[in-house]
Structure formats: C-alpha cells, structure tokens
Amino acid sequence: MTNVFISLFTINEVELTYRKKSEHPEIIITSQEMAAQILRSAWDENKIELLEQFKIVLIDGANACLGVADISSGGLSSCMVDVRLVFATALKAKATQIILAHNHPSGRTTPSDVDLALTKRLCAAGEILDIRVLDHFILTKESHRSLASAGLMP
C-alpha cells in the first residue's frame, strides 16, 4: 500500500550545478574603479535612464570576477530586491564576495534611506553566510557612487 501511495505523487529533486563557461584568463578586481567598469559594461545603456535595475558582481576569494548577475528590474524609481535570490545566486556561483549595484534613472547618485537599509540587510545576511559584501554602487548614465568610498557601508 505504501508504494502505491508514493507512486501517485511526483517527488521534486533539487540539483545544484556550477559550470565555468569560459577558459579565458580571469579578471582580477583590483580597485573600485575596475569594479565600476565591469558593472558599466554589463549594464544595458538603453535602460540605465529608463528603469531601475539591481545586479551583483560575483567574486571568488582571489578577487577574480566570476560574473555579473541580474537580480531584478523595477520601475522608474525603485525595484524590489529579494535577499534570498541575491545569496542563492552567490552560493550557486561559489562566490565568497559580492558587490551590489543598482542604477538611478533620475541621474542622481545620492543613496536613499531605502538604499542604505537594503545595503545593511544584505551585509547582515552576508555575514551569516560568510559571503562578504564589499561595496554597493549606484550608477547613472554619466557617473557612479561607491558607498564604500563614501563611508556608507555598514
């Protein structure tokens, strides 16, 4: 009777995989300016003034860039960021460090209270998972701001 009961249901299987797509030399992030260049190259310039987006740079223990991941897209002045999705992505990529980034379509790089609160939440979650949040960049079409350089990282 037990086997009949189990066969009536489908059991979900969870599998974690990681594949390195490129054998090109690794890009080692050596400065905040380099991180900003990586982010800018990953951003769709047609959307930077249109809608807010949130991305993360995935970094290993040797400061090699593993990639840039799109986390969310929103509206003109905000986008929702799911902390679980940020760290599920980092864990799947085997990242030990991440850099947060989002754009401000308004063209202003001043962080909002919501930006600062989100940064604090993500840093706290990173501590629990032993994934260091190095910085949070705010990008605009013309410029960017590093919260770490501005002394605004928790």
- Identify how many contiguous H helices and E strands the chain contains and give both numbers: 4, 5
Over the chain (154 residues), the average pLDDT of each successive run of 10 is 60 69 81 97 94 97 94 92 97 96 96 97 98 98 97 97
pTM of the full structure: 0.87
pLDDT at 8: 61
Q: Which residues pair with 139 in a beta bridge?
A: 103, 144
CATH code matching the domain that covers 25-146, chosen among 3.30.70.2740, 3.40.140.10, 3.40.50.150, 3.40.50.1370: 3.40.140.10
pLDDT at 18: 64
Break the chain into its structural domains and give their ranges.
25-146
Residues 6+ apart with CB under 8 A from 50: 76, 105
